[in-house]
Amino acid sequence: FKEIKDNIFIYILSIIYLSVCVMNKI
């Protein structure tokens, strides 16, 4: 379960990073 938890954390971080980049472009 630990590996899945780490993957979800990385996935959420990447989504936040992408959303911030998109908001900065607009």
Q: How do residues 1-13 score in pLDDT, each as one tens digit?
A: 678 888 999 999 9
The pLDDT assigned to 9 comes to: 96
Give the domain range for residue 20.
1-26
Please report which confidence band the pLDDT of residue 25 belongs to, taking 50, 70 and 90 as the band edges: confident
What pLDDT does 3 receive? 86
Number of domains in the chain: 1
Continuous H helices in the chain? 2-25
CA distances from 18 to 1, 3, 15, 22, 25 (A): 26, 23, 5, 6, 11
Name the band, by pLDDT with cuts 50, 70 and 90, for residue 16.
very high
Measured in whole angstroms, the distance separating CA 20 from the mean position of its chain's CA atoms is 10
Measure the CA–CA gap between 2 and 20, rounded to whole angstroms: 27
CA distances in angstroms from 14 to 7, 22, listed in the order given: 11, 12
